[in-house]
Amino acid sequence: MKIGEIVFKRYPLFLAPMEGVTDAPFRLACKRCGADMVFSEFISSDGLIRDAVKSVRKLGFNEEERPFGVQIFGNNVAPMVEAAVYAERYQPDVIDINFGCPVKKVASKGAGSGIMNDIPKMVAITDAVVKAVRTPVTVKTRLGYDSEHRDIVEIAERLQDVGIQALTIHGRLRTTKWSEPADWTLIGAVKNNPRMTIPVIGNGDVVDAASAKFFIDNYGVDALMIGRATYGNPWIFTEIHEYLENGVLLSPPTVQQRVEVAKTHLVDSLKIKDEYYAVIEMRKHWSLYFKGFPDFKQFKLRLMEVKTVSEVFGILDEIYTFYSYLL
């Protein structure tokens, strides 16, 4: 499988771009555990044009993260073109257009999946961005706007025709709730459409090695993109690769592995954030790294209160000692 000049091994695994989650430290954790490609948090085209600090900061990445994609979103041609040109200065490997975000504040403005009820505009934006940059352009989208407009087969053909080099499809509609299972039948229809020649990447409900194999075997996608199942679980990439390539189901990561990755995650955060914010922002990860550990609340409460790295490391060392004997 290729995107532009990037050559991937068979059945690559991509980390989905997720706002508030896939910052550089988290991307590095996933990359070191086997993610074949990672993406920025999604970035507002208007924010880049205004040179907003928060938006521009999201463009930064470590060379270790390559291949790396920048994902932008917006609802008008000119700002999206300007944002793509701006993003290209940072030399990402891919510029990805977000036509899939269902969040109300994005979709209600006609961006993300909110643009899926205007296919000509989707195509016009994509066409203009492709023509404006030399970097390969990809798209992430959904099956359609609602149950009456499951248009992904048509959308896929039209986006391919204007020059995108890969398409990621999330198996839900703009109106589908997360509690409802992803529908892969239309993802398979796109992949098996004889008109399609670009890679088709499937996304939605890939939660472990078994589900990954099921979706590949039954729908024939070229790659998988994994989102929420990576929370506190960067090892999912290692586990899926091992199962797809060797048929081996790995044991869950040990408490030592979890503590080591959690520490490295915090150290990487310190490289781009001051100590206070690095420690505070790590709070959302602790319960996820140690999900399912009995009596973890005693440690979580302390981790949610401390404000220095040394205090965090001290508690992580206690976690290692406590669970090494308990588990």
Q: Which of 28, 84, 95, 101 is catalytic?
A: 101
Q: Tell me the β-bridge partners of 200.
A: 167
Closest CA to 185 of 229, 224, 153: 153
| 178 Cβ neighbours under 8 A, 6+ residues apart | 172
**Contact predicate 95/138, CB 8 Å:** yes
| 199 Cβ neighbours under 8 A, 6+ residues apart | 1, 2, 3, 165, 166, 167, 222, 223
30 is catalytic: no
Q: State the sign of the Cα–Cα–Cα–Cα dihedral 169, 175, 179, 181.
A: negative
**Contact predicate 200/190, CB 8 Å:** yes
Closest CA to 185 of 175, 196, 174, 173: 173
Q: Packing angle between helix 119-132 and helix 152-161, nearest 10 degrees? A: 30
**Contact predicate 169/187, CB 8 Å:** yes
**Contact predicate 136/130, CB 8 Å:** no
Alpha helix stretches (DSSP H) within the chain: 24-32, 45-49, 53-57, 77-88, 104-107, 119-132, 152-161, 185-191, 209-219, 236-246, 255-270, 275-281, 283-289, 297-303, 309-326
Write out the catalytic residue numbers.
101
